């Protein structure tokens, strides 16, 4: 690195511990995870996966690096203090003054400018310490009504820096909590000093939740959650969408695109301001109300976290913040994602790690989030970022050469912090590589996530719908993909998420019925073969994935009722249209349309899981994968599941094995008329087991199983 500020001769000094960062609040009495020292080698994971044994040295070294970071953090007060950097950096206010601090080690001078001082560069010059932290204190102003902050709430502000090359630059404060955008003037965001009076603050009335063990996740984007072609708001989501989510029976919401992002069409993946909720949806107080209202409904709220990369924007992002290429990021090619066109964080940097860990902590403390979904984990964990790489599953792909150890260590630190300070909080990894031990505890040598997304499952469904007639579906392949998950590592299963809904792809409903979704989804029109097939398979695909695919389940808003359109944000390529950047929930409210049947079925699945809790059950056994009959039978939890994927054949007195003797009743049938089925099976039918071995089970029952139908049975009480 060149052109460093005088007095900072090398990057290691700039990025070392800052002893001046004193706590502004007393440390909380958290349950510290002492296990991280009881297993100092970090090789406990080998006991549950013997294939990891050849990589023992790797796990020892990785865990050693993690402990070195923990020790470094402990020297400045521990993880509680370290992860509250937002109480030191950015703008902080007490009864006497406003203090503003910013880490910009590559700058040679700095001034705070804004509406409050008429943007005068000379009035409020900042001082710098030996760690490259610039600071200034602004005393409150005496007035007839008492002391008033020197900067008024809502004022525009910037930090002006002079780089080591002598260039005058203006930046938005990196830790700022509110940004605004006026597209009629410029697409660039402006920083706002956010200090509303007590009368403007939202005061939560409900406690933050410990997420349920059986996660039923509703993935949602606030901006598209309106039927009108515009950007929806936090308040509209609270008033209109939360009741729908509650009615459906989902116990968790995963909010996407919350961190401020200048380009709406990026789906929130080009973050410009990490501490600011997007103002296009409303104020920070509106977001607090949304989360608090969800908590009152018993619904946990997760945040989609983008710590894998950042927007390349300079004017309103972190890029080139202090005039150098490397503030917060790796410099040169290593600091750029060639496919995403974004900047890559330097996880070796002390201040970058503080920034990101504090970012997680801030969203919990300030807004009450109950969990995190980490985006782009594959990109973080490998130096190749997963670009052009197909993971075969050989362990050398994970632990020899291409792993970015600094990023993996950061993820371990993040999960360690979350588990230490917030027991029960959930973290989910978006990882396509299948890295072993990703979802094992840090104390055992794992990365520490609670769940990974089952990303191969939607890939399987889309590939089959695109390339294979359902008459030729391979039942064994379906069962294998749904059950192929690592031992002792939990998976969130899903048929489709926002990825499959975005333009350029198709949703399952579109693959099944797109030829007729605009003409034949009314009950007033005949039920055509395409709609009949599509509705049947849509229900079966969701049910088998929910039932067999993981220890949690996720859907993306609208997909549960077969939303008829893809998702496409306003952009230059579509004339900046909002036509497809919305969700038409009104379709489920129209009693003449057939979308209501899919909505009812999705609700019935959630209600069934709430009653029987199969997602948390350790009992799972597949007894039948019959290729010619196209029948799949399995036990999950205390339920017996039967799927007939055959396009024409129905089966009378079909034997299905079961572990449990007794009388059975159907508790969910996709062919019920309530779900636009044919009603061929009397829901009052009782099924009595025969004590005779069948398909490896000690008992069997005989059922009528119509074509393209799934039935779930339970022992009658």
Told to judge if 430 belongs to the known catalytic residues of this protein, a careful annotator would answer yes
Whole-number average pLDDT of the chain? 93
DSSP-assigned letters across all residues of 496-557: --HHHHBBTB--HHHHHHTTTTTTS-BTTS---HHHHHHHHHHHHHHHHHHHHS-SEEEEET
Three-state secondary structure call for residue 468: coil
Distance CA 475, CA 493 (A): 18
Compute CA distances 319 → 166, 189, 278, 333, whole Å.
18, 14, 19, 14
Burial (Cβ within 10 Å: 0-12, 13-18, ≥19) of residue 551? buried
pLDDT digits (tens, 9 = 90+) for 120-138: 999 999 999 999 999 999 9
The DSSP code for 403 is B
- DSSP label at 473? -
Q: Give the burial class of 19: count Cβ atoms within 10 A of its Cβ; 0-12 exposed, 13-18 middle, 19 or more buried.
A: exposed
Number of Cβ within 10 Å of residue 31's Cβ equals 10
375 given a catalytic annotation? yes
The reported pLDDT for the residue numbered 566 is: 87
pLDDT at site 187: 84
Given the residues 375, 431, 551, 568, the one annotated as active site: 375
Out of 102, 214, 365, 430, the active site residue is: 430
Domain ranges of the chain: 616-715
Do residues 512 and 575 make contact, with C-beta atoms less than 8 angstroms apart?
Answer: no
Sole residue written with tokens 């299905």: 656
Tokens at 663, concatenated: 């009388």
Q: Does domain 616-715 have CATH number 2.60.40.1180?
A: yes
Is residue 57 classed exposed, middle or buried when 0-12, 13-18 and 19+ CB atoms within 10 A define those classes? exposed
- Tell me: the pLDDT tens digits for 627-678? 999 999 999 999 999 999 999 999 999 999 999 999 999 999 999 999 999 9
The pTM for the full model equals: 0.93
Cβ-Cβ contacts under 8 Å for 558 (sequence gap 6 or more): 501, 583, 584, 585
Give the list of residues 6+ apart from residue 176 with CB closer than 8 angstroms, or none.
90, 91, 157, 191, 192, 194, 273, 275, 276
Classify residue 266 by its DSSP letter: G
Longest dimension (CA), the chain: 90
How far apart CA 81 and CA 97 sit, in angstroms, is 22
Q: Which residues of the chain have pLDDT under 70?
A: 1-40
Per the DSSP assignment, residues forming a β-bridge with 160 are 111, 170
């Amino acid at each position: 690195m060149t052109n460093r500020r005088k007095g900072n001769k090398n990057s290691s000094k700039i990025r070392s511990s800052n002893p001046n960062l004193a706590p502004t609040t007393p440390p909380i009495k958290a349950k510290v995870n002492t296990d991280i020292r009881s297993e100092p080698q970090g090789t406990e994971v080998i006991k549950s996966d013997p294939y990891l044994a050849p990589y023992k040295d790797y796990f020892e070294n990785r865990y050693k690096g993690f402990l070195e970071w923990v020790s470094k953090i402990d020297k400045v007060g521990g993880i509680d203090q370290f992860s509250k950097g937002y109480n030191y950096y950015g703008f902080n206010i007490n009864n006497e003054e406003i203090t503003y601090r910013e880490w910009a080690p590559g700058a040679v001078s700095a001034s705070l400018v804004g509406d409050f001082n008429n943007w005068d560069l000379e009035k409020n010059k900042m001082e710098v310490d030996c760690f490259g932290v610039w600071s200034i204190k602004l005393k409150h102003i005496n007035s007839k009504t008492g002391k008033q902050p020197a900067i008024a709430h809502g004022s525009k502000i910037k930090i002006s820096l002079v780089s080591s090359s002598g260039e005058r630059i203006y930046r938005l404060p990196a830790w700022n909590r509110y940004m605004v955008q006026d597209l009629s003037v410029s697409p660039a965001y402006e920083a706002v000093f956010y200090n509303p009076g007590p009368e403007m603050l939202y005061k939560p009335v409900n406690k933050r939740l410990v997420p349920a063990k059986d996660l039923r996740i509703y993935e949602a984007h606030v901006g598209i959650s309106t039927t009108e072609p515009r950007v929806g708001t936090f308040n509209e989501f609270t008033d209109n969408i939360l009741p729908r989510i509650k009615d459906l029976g989902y116990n968790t919401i995963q909010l996407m695109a919350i961190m401020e992002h200048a380009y709406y069409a990026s789906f929130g993946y080009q973050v410009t301001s990490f501490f600011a909720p997007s103002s296009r949806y409303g104020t920070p107080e509106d977001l607090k109300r949304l989360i608090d209202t969800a908590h009152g409904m018993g619904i946990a709220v997760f945040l989609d976290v983008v710590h894998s990369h950042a927007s390349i924007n300079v004017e309103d992002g972190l890029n080139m913040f202090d005039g150098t290429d490397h503030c917060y990021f790796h410099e040169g090619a290593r600091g750029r994602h060639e496919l995403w066109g974004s900047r890559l964080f330097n996880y070796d940097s002390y201040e970058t790690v503080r920034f990101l860990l504090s970012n997680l902590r801030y969203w919990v403390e300030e807004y009450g989030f109950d969990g995190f979904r980490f985006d782009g984990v594959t990109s973080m964990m490998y130096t190749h970022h997963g670009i052009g790489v197909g993971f075969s599953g050989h362990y050398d792909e994970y632990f020899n050469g291409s792993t970015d150890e600094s990023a993996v260590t950061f993820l371990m630190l993040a999960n360690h912090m979350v588990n230490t300070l917030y027991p029960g909080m959930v973290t989910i990894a978006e990882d396509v590589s299948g890295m072993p031990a990703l979802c094992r505890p840090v104390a055992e040598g794992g990365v520490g996530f609670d769940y990974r997304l089952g990303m191969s499952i939607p890939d399987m469904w889309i590939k089959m719908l695109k390339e294979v007639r359902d008459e030729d579906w391979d039942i064994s392949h379906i069962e294998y993909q749904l059950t192929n998950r690592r031992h002792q590592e939990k998976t969130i299963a899903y048929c489709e998420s926002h990825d499959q809904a975005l333009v350029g792809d198709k949703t399952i409903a579109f693959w099944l019925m797109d030829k007729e979704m605009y003409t034949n989804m009314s009950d007033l029109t005949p039920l055509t073969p395409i709609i009949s097939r599509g509705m049947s398979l849509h229900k079966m695909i969701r049910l088998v994935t929910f039932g067999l695919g993981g220890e949690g389940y996720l859907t993306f808003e609208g997909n549960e009722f077969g939303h008829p359109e893809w998702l496409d944000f306003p952009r230059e390529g579509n004339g900046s249209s909002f036509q497809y950047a919305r969700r038409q929930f009104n379709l489920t409210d129209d009693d003449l349309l057939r979308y209501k049947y899919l909505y009812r079925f999705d609700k019935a699945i959630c209600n069934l899981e709430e009653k029987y809790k199969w997602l948390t059950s350790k009992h799972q056994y597949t007894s039948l994968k019959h290729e010619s009959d196209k029948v799949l039978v399995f036990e999950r939890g205390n339920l017996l599941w039967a799927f007939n994927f055959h396009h024409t054949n129905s089966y009378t007195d079909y034997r299905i094995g079961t572990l449990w003797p007794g009388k059975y009743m159907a508790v969910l049938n996709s062919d019920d008329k309530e779900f636009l089925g044919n009603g061929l099976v009397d829901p009052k039918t009782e099924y009595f087991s025969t004590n005779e071995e069948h398909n490896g089970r000690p008992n069997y029952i005989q059922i009528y199983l119509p074509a393209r139908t799934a039935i779930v049975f339970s022992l009658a009480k």
